[in-house]
Amino acid sequence: MEKLKRVVSEIAYSHDFSKLSLLHRSLVPFLSFASSIYNLSLTTRHYLYFLGIFRKHRLPVPVISVGNLTWGGNGKTPMVEFLSCWFNNSGISPLILSRDFMYQGYAGGDEVKMLERHLMGTSVKVGVGANRAATASWFLDRYGYINSCTNAFFEKLLSVNKVDTDATSDKIGAAILDDGMQHVRLERDLDVVMVNGLTPWGNNQLIPFGPLREPLSALARADIVVIHHADLVPEPILMNLKRRIQDIKESLPVFFSRMVSSHFFTVHNVDTKLPLSAVHSRVVLCLSAIGSPNGFVKCVEKLGPLHVDQLHYSDHYMLQPTDICLMRRKLEELCHSFGSRPIVVTTEKDYDRDREILSQLCPFDVLVLCSQLQIVPHNGSSEKRFKELLKQLLDSRSR
């Protein structure tokens, strides 16, 4: 299954099918047909909501959706955390609504586990379930909610952040819909769409033929677009991507973000804080099962290692004992080639999914890279402007 996923991904991000292997090309007709069926079901579903046959659910608090148009690697989860911390530090208690089926043991639930670990001790609540309206209702009944219609409610968002303090009330003041672009069942007040600047649209086809979960025209529903990994993309490509987005919706504000590395911790002790210089001039094996492994590798390369090799798997893949054997062989080869013991560097998502099996790589050190999303100042766009715009939009749409 993992090999098939890799083949499908290679097709999805190929711009010249003639360069693909015979196996890849043989799958193209089947993937194209499946993509057509998916498009039909997607269009029908949206039309049924438009006609009112399927009903949308409205929450009594503002709902901010953070979503994307493609599978994985768009910075969606870091943006959810960014917004949650901002609301919490501004005195507003947010509720994250996630559909992470894998949380129940399906494939690790890495994103939810990471959010819960990062946000522990804050007023942020994390609700998990396929029916996010029902999940939200349970949390709102348990904790209560704050009426956001008062003029001063959203003014808190632009006050000086109360760093490392909880919200002033445990009552829920807003809901953040994680991976909400396609979750049309729940009404939202604001749509933030994340775009991976490194691999934005692939071959421009719908899944499974391509990486698109919706046609690019769906960007017209967005209120704000954030191009992620902007620091890893050449300026001309970044500007072309922005222009293409605004060709779809001219008035659409476009911001830019990046991941900023802070420190490492060891796979055996999450409380350790090792400096980023820990990998300087060392041989590194980057290990990941995330949506954008190239972005992760490029971040590690910035830290000045002597050599960087990589092993990557499909997004959310759970490591198996056979994978550990493969990693050991790879590490021993690197050790023989460079005459020094290599370091394994992985992501927090991979740690939260596979911490037990990663600890089996001893005596090789396994370090976990900690990073946070940052809005990049660019041509008048900035974190301050981003927050001002969100507040303005929420103000104008509050009930």
Q: Pick the residue with more confidence: 160 or 145?
A: 145
Q: What share of the chain is helix, strand, coil (3-state, %, to 5)?
A: 45, 20, 35
Same domain, 222 and 268: no
Contacts of 124 (CB under 8 A, 6+ apart): 84, 85, 87, 88, 93, 94, 95, 96
For the four alpha carbons of 52, 53, 55 and 56, in that order, the dihedral sign comes to negative
Buried b (16+ CB within 10 A) or exposed e, 233-247: beeeebeebbeebee
Residue from 289, 231, 291 nearest 261 by CA: 231
Per-residue pLDDT band for 263 (boundaries 50, 70, 90) equals very high
Same domain, 87 and 133: yes
Claim: this prediction has a pTM higher than 0.85: yes
Residue owning tokens 């953070």: 66
Same domain, 162 and 179: yes
Peptide bond into 363 cis (omega under 30): yes
- Cβ atoms within 10 Å of 149's Cβ, excluding its own: 8
229, 295 Cβ separation under 8 angstroms: yes
Residue from 296, 290, 216, 309 nearest 258 by CA: 296
Whether the per-residue pLDDT at 21 is higher than 80: the answer is yes
Chain-centroid distance, C-alpha 39: 24
39, 151 Cβ separation under 8 angstroms: no
Torsion of CA 20, 26, 27, 31, to 10 degrees: 100
Mean of the per-residue pLDDT values of the chain: 90
The reply to whether 182 falls in a domain is: yes
- Read off the pLDDT of residues 52-82 as tens digits, 9 standing for 90 and up: 899 999 999 999 999 999 987 899 999 999 9
The three-state secondary structure class of 187 is coil
- Read off the pLDDT of residues 44-58 as tens digits, 9 standing for 90 and up: 999 999 888 999 999
* Mean pLDDT, residues 170-178 taken together: 93
The three-state secondary structure class of 273 is strand
Alpha helices, H only, 249-366: 293-301, 321-338, 348-358
44, 36 Cβ separation under 8 angstroms: no
The reply to whether 28 falls in a domain is: no
Whether the per-residue pLDDT at 12 is higher than 50: the answer is yes
The reply to whether 6 falls in a domain is: no
65, 177 Cβ separation under 8 angstroms: yes
Q: What's residue 248's pLDDT?
A: 96
* Mean pLDDT, residues 83-88 taken together: 95
Number of domains in the chain: 2
List the single range of 169-178, 225-234, 257-266, 272-281 with lowest mean pLDDT.
169-178
- Cβ atoms within 10 Å of 40's Cβ, excluding its own: 10
Same domain, 76 and 219: yes
List the single range of 138-152, 199-213, 379-393 with lowest mean pLDDT.
138-152
Read off the CATH number of the domain in which 160 is found: 3.40.50
The reply to whether 10 falls in a domain is: no
The reply to whether 296 falls in a domain is: yes
Same domain, 213 and 80: yes
The reply to whether 9 falls in a domain is: no
Strand bridging mode 269-274 / 254-266: antiparallel
How far is Cα 200 from Cα 51, in angstroms, rounded to an integer?
32
Q: What's residue 167's pLDDT?
A: 53
Whether the per-residue pLDDT at 245 is higher than 90: the answer is yes
11, 184 Cβ separation under 8 angstroms: no
Q: What's residue 155's pLDDT?
A: 75
Whether the per-residue pLDDT at 33 is higher than 80: the answer is yes
* Mean pLDDT, residues 287-309 taken together: 94
Whether the per-residue pLDDT at 104 is higher than 50: the answer is no
Whether the per-residue pLDDT at 307 is higher than 90: the answer is yes
Same domain, 286 and 360: yes
Q: What's residue 169's pLDDT?
A: 72
* Mean pLDDT, residues 171-183 taken together: 93
Q: What's residue 114's pLDDT?
A: 93
The reply to whether 207 falls in a domain is: yes
Same domain, 165 and 75: yes
Same domain, 88 and 193: yes
Q: What's residue 150's pLDDT?
A: 60
- Cβ atoms within 10 Å of 389's Cβ, excluding its own: 16
- Residue 310's domain spans which residues? 260-372
334, 359 Cβ separation under 8 angstroms: no
The reply to whether 21 falls in a domain is: no
Same domain, 221 and 366: no
Same domain, 109 and 221: yes
Same domain, 217 and 297: no
How far is Cα 352 from Cα 126, in angstroms, rounded to an integer?
16
Q: What's residue 71's pLDDT?
A: 85
Q: What is the DSSP string of 235-247?
A: HHHHHHHHHHHHH
